[in-house]
Amino acid sequence: MQRRKFLSLSTAAASTAAVSVLSANAASKIIDKNGFIVKAGEARSGVHTPFQGVNPNDVKISGKDTDGQLAVFEYIGTQKIGPGLHVHFHQDEIFYVVEGEYRFQLGNEKSILKAGDTIFLPRNIPHTWIQLSDRGKLIYTLQPAGQLEAFFVKLNTLKGVPTQAEFDKIFLDHGMKNVGPPLSLE
């Protein structure tokens, strides 16, 4: 009887230890043990990727930092603009409004978000947003990281405005699809 109890406890302890080691290994891939700081106004790689050539839209935590698990961006809005209606095929997106007011669309639903509000945008559901206030700031996360960093770098290296076919191809090359126009201020 004692031997059976000992074997049960030993097996449970070994399983727990194995899970702990696996969890520690997974965590070590996600988080650099030394960590890092990205100062205000800076981008993680030192490369700024302004949205539509104007508003700062910088990578704060790169997918390269997290073994592709997530990417974090900071958007500072100085103009009342937003992206076209689009779909991410493989990433969920989370937006936290730090400053200002935004209208978000998820599927057919539209909502106004203000400082302190958060919205979860699941993959494969069309979504977009537009800044309503004169100034705004968003922190947003993609999980897993996907190709959004490369998408913004590509857009910022273009010479001139791409045709709609070129624009659609750039979206598809980065795991997204443009499915409609941006929101209007009305």
- pLDDT tens digits for range 39-57: 988 999 888 887 777 778 8
Residue with tokens 């069309």, as numbered in its chain? 126
**In-domain check, residue 13:** yes
**Can you list the residues of the chain whose pLDDT is less than 70?**
1-33
**Nearest-5° angle of CA 14, CA 17, CA 23?**
140
For 71-103, b/e burial (b = at least 16 CB within 10 A) is bbbbbbbeebbbbebebbeebbbbbebeebbbb
Do 26 and 71 reside in the same domain of the chain? no
pLDDT (tens digit per residue) in 82-94: 999 999 999 999 9
Do 114 and 23 reside in the same domain of the chain? no
What's the pLDDT at 125?
A: 98
DSSP H or E stretch at residue 154: helix 148-157
Do 82 and 9 reside in the same domain of the chain? no
Do 176 and 85 reside in the same domain of the chain? yes
Strand, coil or helix: 5: helix
Predicted structure pTM score = 0.79
Do 68 and 141 reside in the same domain of the chain? yes
CB 111 within 8 A of CB 93: no
CATH number at residue 169: 2.60.120.10
Reading the block at residue 109, the tokens are: 């639903």
Q: How many domains does the chain have?
A: 2
**In-domain check, residue 47:** no
**In-domain check, residue 10:** yes
Residue 83 is given by DSSP the state P
Do 135 and 88 reside in the same domain of the chain? yes
**In-domain check, residue 110:** yes
**In-domain check, residue 39:** no
Gap between the Cα atoms of 47 and 152, Å rounded: 10
Do 21 and 67 reside in the same domain of the chain? no
Gap between the Cα atoms of 131 and 77, Å rounded: 7
Residue 77's domain comprises 57-182
